[in-house]
Amino acid sequence: MRRVAITGAGTINALGHNVPDTLAAMREGRSGIGELDIRDLDRLSVKIGGQVRGYDERAHFNRQQIALYDRFTQFALLSAAEAIGQAGLEFSGALAARSGVVLGTSGGGLSTQDENYRVVYEEGKNRVHPFVVPKLMNNAAASHVSMQWNLKGPSFTVATACASSNHAMGQAFQMIRYGLADVMVTGGSEAMLCFGGVKAWEGLRVMSKDACRPFSATRSGMVQGEGAGAFVLEEMGHAKKRGAEVLAEVVGFAMTSDAADIVMPSKQGAARAIRGAMQDAKLAKEKVGYINAHGTGTAANDKTECAAVADAFGAHADSLMISSTKSMHGHLIGGTGAVELLACIMALRDGVIAPTIGYEEHDPECALDVVPNEAREAKVQAVLSNAFAFGGLNAVLALKTA
């Protein structure tokens, strides 16, 4: 079985337009959540989100590209460029054929759909721009990344709601591990902060109107975010041979399905995924020092997740740290696991555990060390990243220090 290194990371999200800015915000426990700047805000009852600020698409892309790139594709391209730049890889010949891209998204080009539905339904126009379909399709981001970087191996898009990124990265990991590819660009992207995207979430009545406070007894629901995260996964020998810097090693992955309820999470399903990832990694549970939680800030998730961690780890659950960075960047839905993996890499590489901010009051049903409000210095050798999606689809990754 081949080993899998992470040799590049990139992101754009509410905390920053690149990895260093994002990690600095996580270290400082800064929130990227604020009032949304979107059309028809007055018709929304949820008015906050983790929006990417100070972003001008024209600074990165020309008119022709903008005509084809939905916001979620733009975010994916920018993140991939940062990750591949750090990895220092060029894809040509045999390597290009052995390299692919697997990205997660849930809404795909939702802003494009939203805008064009407006045009035909609200404005009554009978003509839409010819690129609506190639712009809105869920695989647009993965395809444009493959085109821009000449990635000619296995490439596709994974859509498992809030677990999309983790499922995508897990696929990329397995492809390299089992010899289907040598390098994979992977992660996820989401740009749902448009009127229709927020209105749909409003309907579920699980959204907070003020802040995302995972694990706090005062929690008031989830907050949407947007952005992307991308990583270069590379076969360890390939990375070492060319002297690449290894940021962390991906050592395990597990997926489970609750097969129970379309929105309510299950402790058993989540615990099986957590145990599965450790078994896959041949990792003793005592070695796990940090878990990046799914931690959405809803009562249903937070209680179930803490119970699942307690179940999977037994007594060691009280010794490990678990935090939810969604408190800072919001829930990026199909892109969330990718941005959250950055916190895992920071824990392994820099010995800094990102905090759960907005934490106000102890909840006896979430009685774990959730690293409240302030980042913490700690040496950890192995970490997990949890993602538990609507539809009961769970995906957990295990990482170790390089």
Active site residues: 162, 294, 331
CB of 191 to other proteins, least distance (A): 22
Residues 251-273: b if buried by 16+ CB within 10 A, e if exposed: bbbbbbebeeeeeebbbebbbbb
CB of 130 to other proteins, least distance (A): 4
Alpha-carbon distance of 358 to 340, in angstroms, equals 17
CB of 61 to other proteins, least distance (A): 14
CB of 65 to other proteins, least distance (A): 12
What is the contact mask toward other proteins in residues 41 to 70, using x (rule: CB under 8 A)? -----------------------x--x---
Q: Give the residue with the Cβ less far from other proteins, 64 or 241.
A: 64
CB of 299 to other proteins, least distance (A): 48
**If binding means CB under 8 A, how many residues of this protein chain bind other proteins?**
6
Q: Give the residue with the Cβ less far from other proteins, 128 or 402.
A: 128
Q: Give the residue with the Cβ less far from other proteins, 58 or 127.
A: 127
Alpha-carbon distance of 67 to 90, in angstroms, equals 27
Give me the helix-helix angle, 110-117 and 195-204, nearest 10°.
100
Q: Give the residue with the Cβ less far from other proteins, 129 or 240.
A: 129
Nearest to 53 by CA among 109, 97, 13: 13
Q: Give the residue with the Cβ less far from other proteins, 63 or 379.
A: 63
CB of 129 to other proteins, least distance (A): 6
Q: Give the residue with the Cβ less far from other proteins, 127 or 205.
A: 127
Q: Give the residue with the Cβ less far from other proteins, 127 or 379.
A: 127
CB of 128 to other proteins, least distance (A): 8
For other proteins, the binding residues in 118-177 under the rule CB under 8 A are 127, 129-131
For other proteins, the binding residues in 65-104 under the rule CB under 8 A are 67
- Count the residues in the chain: 402
How many Cα atoms occupy the beta-carbon half-sphere of 72 within 13 Å? 38
Residues lying near other proteins in the complex (CB under 8 A) are found at 64, 67, 127, 129-131
